[in-house]
Amino acid sequence: MFSTEEYIARRAKLKELMGSGLVLLMGNEEVGINFEDNIYPFRQDSSFLYFFGIQTNGLAAIIDLESGEELIFGDDPSIDHIVFSGPIESLQSQAAKVGVTHVKSGTDLSDYLGEAVSKGKKVHYLPPYRAEHALKLTDLLHVPTSKLKEQSSTELIKAIVQLRTIKSEAEVVEIEKALNVTVDMHYKAMEMAQPLIKESDVYGAVSQIALAKGVGTSFPPIVTINGQILHNHYRGNELKEGDMLLCDCGAEIASGYAGDLTRTFPVSKKFSKDQKEIYNIVFEAYSTAVALLKPGRLFLDVHLAACEKIVEGLIAFGLMKGNAKEAVAEGAHTMFFQCGLGHMLGLDVHDMENLGEQYVGYTDTLKQRTDFGFRSLRLGRALEEGMVVTVEPGIYIIPELIDLRKKEGKYLDFVNYEMLEKYRDFGGIRIEDVFLITPEEGGRILGNRLPGSAAEIEEFMLSHQRL
Amino acid sequence: MFSTEEYIARRAKLKELMGSGLVLLMGNEEVGINFEDNIYPFRQDSSFLYFFGIQTNGLAAIIDLESGEELIFGDDPSIDHIVFSGPIESLQSQAAKVGVTHVKSGTDLSDYLGEAVSKGKKVHYLPPYRAEHALKLTDLLHVPTSKLKEQSSTELIKAIVQLRTIKSEAEVVEIEKALNVTVDMHYKAMEMAQPLIKESDVYGAVSQIALAKGVGTSFPPIVTINGQILHNHYRGNELKEGDMLLCDCGAEIASGYAGDLTRTFPVSKKFSKDQKEIYNIVFEAYSTAVALLKPGRLFLDVHLAACEKIVEGLIAFGLMKGNAKEAVAEGAHTMFFQCGLGHMLGLDVHDMENLGEQYVGYTDTLKQRTDFGFRSLRLGRALEEGMVVTVEPGIYIIPELIDLRKKEGKYLDFVNYEMLEKYRDFGGIRIEDVFLITPEEGGRILGNRLPGSAAEIEEFMLSHQRL
């Protein structure tokens, strides 16, 4: 929770940025896992949380842009509910803490909106990412489900993106709290990594820290000896000598803010010669990118610089050939670095992703590219003071991708396919930290610092026994 | 996964029990937490899992009751998806393992159903508990969202309840696996419980075991010093001398089966005099109920016997007065035992709860009671060989309920309100184990046995240091 004044100020700025009509923000609902009452951990919608701060399910909020009136719609629990679930702070009292005095029953929302619409007021709402919202919005606004996304308010999206992009000091404090729990998760993973341990054991241990010290993980942790599988959620492998373990995880804390860090470390405590050389290429790309962070710089350019560093390193190593700049221009680096260099982070681990990457990471004049590799770059636009971004270069050797590109006859001038065949099973390496953009420091690393270079990683692995 | 034959046999039995038309089973979808791609752990729908066994999202299955044809609708991942998510077994191959040869694209489902409906075939579907299903079913069957529940198939519900109620030997093996992980979770909780530890630390530790040894928890673990709050998910309290910690948790394993056990134990390693006396009342009720389990016995009668034991104990202790049978007839026991004695357990922790308690736990002639206490009894009907049920009596002293009933002037002949005031903050105690109903043993406890009696609990607490 932030101060009442911060919530009031956020809504005041939103009103300034918006024209006329009503802003409707839907809070999230509970979701049944395998039946209605067995629910997933509740997560409030991030934009609702940003402007209204209440962590209760089933709410909606309205800001009348003309009268300035702010209302929260929802209902206090019944006595039956209190008997089973314990006393709960009244909605009126929770609303007062975020500076809202008008609280109405949830059942009043439909009439309220109906009246507004009949008066010709526009209702600005965000594109739904939960089916419960789609059902509710269709009911409330009489917009067919299939039209909900296209009729959502670009004006509202752009205003919210503008506000949530720049983190307040209080928000940075929360992000650092989340990152510090995340740092503990990584230390635990590095301490545990040794032969005979299973990926799922490390997954359980890092989750434990997030659950005990935060409210859980900010996304399903990736804990894998197959780091080249970017969206890997299989965790059945046993670690063995010579493996690298890639751990990409983050905690979410009570206020809703997310952590997100990645480290890749050797199960045998020391990297093999090849592993260390390729690790160093990734670390070079990481260092190059970090040094380039500053207000005004296009993140797309930082990404391209990291791509070039990766290609230069791989040319020296032998897996690539030719000219690095040309290779990146042709997209040949996507044989090894298939995704984006980073993304914004805040209340969401990929901050505001539900609002649309084109609005969050790009501008009216800088459009997101659609070619392989670049279409996964969530952030391209100029960095601004107060932005919080991840920097996470990697090298991933993906057998399926090698076979595909070979078949297509692609990148023959830049990829040494013959040598690459010998590295088919190398795996993947990623290094990820989180930075606040400031005029003084360019990018200031947030949270307690984890070992980063190969030497630091090895030193930690060699000096720490498994807990 | 079970044998191909077991899946084929389950579907054959379903066909025998059903009349004409099509059975449509919807597999579950992914659900975004705070944006579309940041997803909750995937959980397949339990009935889909029971008959079709495939743990992939976005599937649907059809059984044509006339032709006997069985089809799975879904799509294999694209090459793009494989590049990012690694190789995945084809749907055709997964389907073959459960004895299904007809696999069609997910986009064919709409036409397939449209054609069937145009021929006058009835489509039997289950009531949806996820909004994604509601949206899809409305689209597929042209039933308005608000009518989906009432137009779902009672015939299909009853047939599935009949089948899923009786567990096969292979299912019991899975349930015992889930319970054995759950037993480990409880040992961990008991080992950790000591002053200065927080509820959330224990919550994290029991979750870790479920995540590392299973696929997660079968429901959000309840780990609380306020055991009287039945649906407590606050975990911010620090344990202190004199507290009791109530831990109600379960693991879910890869096959989808659930564990569910509860223990209540003293943070000071030994119960206080009052705690032990009230614990013993709950344990007596538990033992009485367990001894009554047998095929043919109404679970409602077992529940009533446990209620009487609780009242007898509380009369001896002094918190209640009068005649125990009369007290239960009047509902006075619900001052202390507000919920049901147990429920079935299987693929769902409250097995088949989404199919409707009236069909799962009751019969056409034995209806679920609607009065306080009894309306929370999920199972009333006669036990059958092969059923798996929990037995979980408890005593809960709920300040809000005392105040409410006092104001209403209720149970004055049975409750010693004056003495109860002194016990307002006593808390709550529950003991829960899982039993298989057999003709030979009545109720056979499943899984490794945890300490149960107060003496066993204290012995364990005194002899185990925190891990």
| Residue-range domain boundaries for chain A | 4-165, 169-463
Helices (H), A196-343: 199-213, 273-292, 299-317, 324-330
Cα(B184)–Cα(B207) distance, rounded to whole angstroms? 11
Check if the beta carbon of residue B268 is closer than 8 Å to that of residue B242: yes
- Do residues A442 and A291 make contact, with C-beta atoms less than 8 angstroms apart? yes
Architecture of the domain spanning B169-463? Alpha-Beta Complex (3.90)
pLDDT at residue A467 tops 80: no
In terms of CA atoms, which chain A residue is nearest residue B31?
A130
Nearest CA in chain B to A226: B86
- Tell me the pLDDT tens digit for each residue of B136-184: 999 999 999 999 999 999 999 999 999 999 999 999 999 999 999 999 9
Query: How far lies B364's CA from each of A11, B150, B295, in Å?
Result: 55, 18, 19
- Give residue A15's pLDDT: 98
Q: Which residue of B has its CA nearest to A206?
A: B208
What pLDDT is recorded for position A466? 56
pLDDT for the residue B466 = 56
Q: Nearest CA to B357 among A80, A36, A84, A78?
A: A36
Q: Determine the pLDDT at residue B159.
A: 98
Q: Which of residues 140-179 of A touch B (CB under 8 A)?
A: 145
Res A79: pLDDT: 80
In one-letter notation, the amino acid at residue B111 is D
Nearest by CB: B130 against A32, A83, A210: A32
| Domain A4-165, second-level architecture | 3-Layer(aba) Sandwich (3.40)
Find the residue in B nearest to A36 (Cα).
Answer: B129
- The model's pLDDT over B264-276, given as tens digits with 9 standing for 90+, comes to 999 999 999 999 9
Q: How far is CA B208 from the centre of its chain?
A: 20
**In this complex, is the C-beta atom of A207 within 8 Å of any C-beta atom belonging to chain B?**
yes
Q: pLDDT by residue (tens digit) across B49-66?
A: 999 999 999 999 999 999
Tokens encoding B48: 């889909």
CB-CB contact of A209 with A251 (8 Å)? yes
Annotate A50-83 with DSSP letters as a single string: HHH----TT-EEEEETTT--EEEE--PPPHHHHH
Which of A208, A219, A398 is opposite residue B38, by nearest beta carbon?
A219
> Which residues 213-252 of A have a C-beta within 8 angstroms of B?
213, 219-220, 226, 229-232, 234
Cβ contact (<8 Å) for A129 and B201?
A: no
Q: Does residue B465 have a pLDDT over 70?
A: no
The tens digit of pLDDT for each residue in A72-126 reads 999 998 888 888 888 889 999 999 999 999 999 999 999 999 999 999 999 999 9
Residue-wise pLDDT tens digits, B113-135: 999 999 999 999 999 999 999 99
What backbone phi and psi angles, to 5 degrees, belong to B263?
A: -135, 150
pLDDT > 90 in chain A, percent: 95
Which tokens in the block code for residue A412?
A: 């023959």
Pairwise CA distance, residues B330 & B338, whole Å: 13
Residue A353 pLDDT > 70:
yes
- Residue B336's Cβ-side half-sphere holds a number of Cα atoms within 13 Å equal to 34
d(CA A117, CA A122): 7
Q: What is the spatial distance between Cα B269 and Cα B304, in angstroms, rounded to a whole number?
A: 32
Q: How far apart are CA B161 and CA B37, in angstroms?
A: 34
Chain B residue with CA closest to A372: the answer is: B80
Mean pLDDT of B359-380: 94
Span B233-240, mean pLDDT?
92
Chain A CB within 8 Å of residue B46 CB: yes
Residue A465, pLDDT score: 62
Distance from A205 to chain B by nearest Cα, in Å? 6
pLDDT per residue as tens digits for the range A238-254: 999 999 999 999 999 99
Q: Which of A200, A212, A404 is opposite residue B79, by nearest beta carbon? A: A404
Q: Do B36 and A201 touch (CB under 8 A)?
A: no
Q: Is A400 on the interface with B (CB under 8 A)?
A: yes
Q: What number of residues does chain A have?
A: 467
B317-363: per-residue pLDDT in tens?
Answer: 999 999 999 999 999 999 999 999 999 999 999 999 999 999 999 99
Closest Cβ opposite residue A135 in set B36, B134, B353: B134
Q: B1 touching A, CB under 8 A?
A: no
Determine the pLDDT at residue B83: 83
Q: What is the pLDDT of residue A80?
A: 80
d(CA A26, CA A57): 10
- Give the helix ranges, DSSP H, for A166-216: 169-192, 199-213
How many inter-chain contacts (A to B, CB under 8 Å) are there? 171
Nearest residue in chain B measured CA to CA from A399: B83
Q: What is the pLDDT of residues A407-460, one digit of tens each?
A: 999 999 999 999 999 999 999 999 999 999 999 999 999 999 999 999 999 999
Average pLDDT, chain A: 96
pLDDT confidence of residue B405: 96
> Do the chains contact at A234 and B201, CB–CB below 8 Å?
no
ipTM exceeds 0.90:
yes
Tokens read off for A282: 């990734």
Task: Name the β-bridge partners of A443.
Answer: A437
Pick the residue from chain B with its C-alpha nearest to A43. Answer: B33
Q: Which whole number is the average pLDDT over A132-139? A: 95
Q: Do B211 and A230 touch (CB under 8 A)?
A: no
CB contact under 8 A, B211 and A204: yes
Would you call A26 an interface residue with chain B, using a CB distance cutoff of 8 Å?
A: no
Residue-wise pLDDT for B207-236, tens only, equals: 999 999 999 999 999 999 999 998 888 899
DSSP code for A367? P
A32 contacts in B (CB within 8 Å)? 129-130, 354
Asked if A203 is an interface residue toward chain B (Cβ–Cβ < 8 A), one would say yes
Amino acid A50: pLDDT = 98
**Residues of A (267-286) whose Cβ lies below 8 Å from B:** none
What's the CA gap between B312 and B322, in Å, rounded?
9
Strand, coil or helix: what is A223?
A: strand
Please name which of B190, B202, B280 lies closest in space to residue B465, comparing C-alpha atoms: B190
Contact check, Cβ <8 Å, B350/A35: yes
Secondary structure in 3-state letters for chain B: CCCHHHHHHHHHHHHHHCCCCEEEEECCCCCEEEECCEECCCCCCHHHHHHHCCCCCCCEEEEECCCCCEEEECCCCCHHHHHHHCCCCCHHHHHHHCCCCEEECHHHHHHHHHHHHHCCCCEEECCCCCHHHHHHHHHHHCCCHHHCCCCCCHHHHHHHHHHHHCCCHHHHHHHHHHHHHHHHHHHHHHHHCCCCCEHHHHHHHHHHHHHHHCCEECCCCEEECCCCCCCCCCCCCECCCCCEEEEEECEECCCCCECCEEEEEECCCCCCHHHHHHHHHHHHHHHHHHHHCCCCCEHHHHHHHHHHHHHHHHHHHCCECCCHHHHHHHCHHHHCCCCCCCCECCCCCCCCHHHCHHHHCCCCCCCCCCCCCHHHCCCCCECCCCCEEEECCEEECCHHHHHHHHHHCCCCCCECHHHHHHCCCCCEEECEEEEEEECCCEEEECCCCCCCCHHHHHHHHHHCCCC
**Distance between CA atoms of residues A147 and A125, nearest Å:** 13
**What is residue A457's predicted lDDT score, i.e. its pLDDT?**
97
Nearest residue in chain A measured CA to CA from B336 = A83
* B204/A contact by beta carbon, under 8 A: yes
Helices (H), A89-143: 91-97, 109-118, 131-141
Task: Give the CA angle between residues A59, A61, A62 to the nearest 5°.
Answer: 155
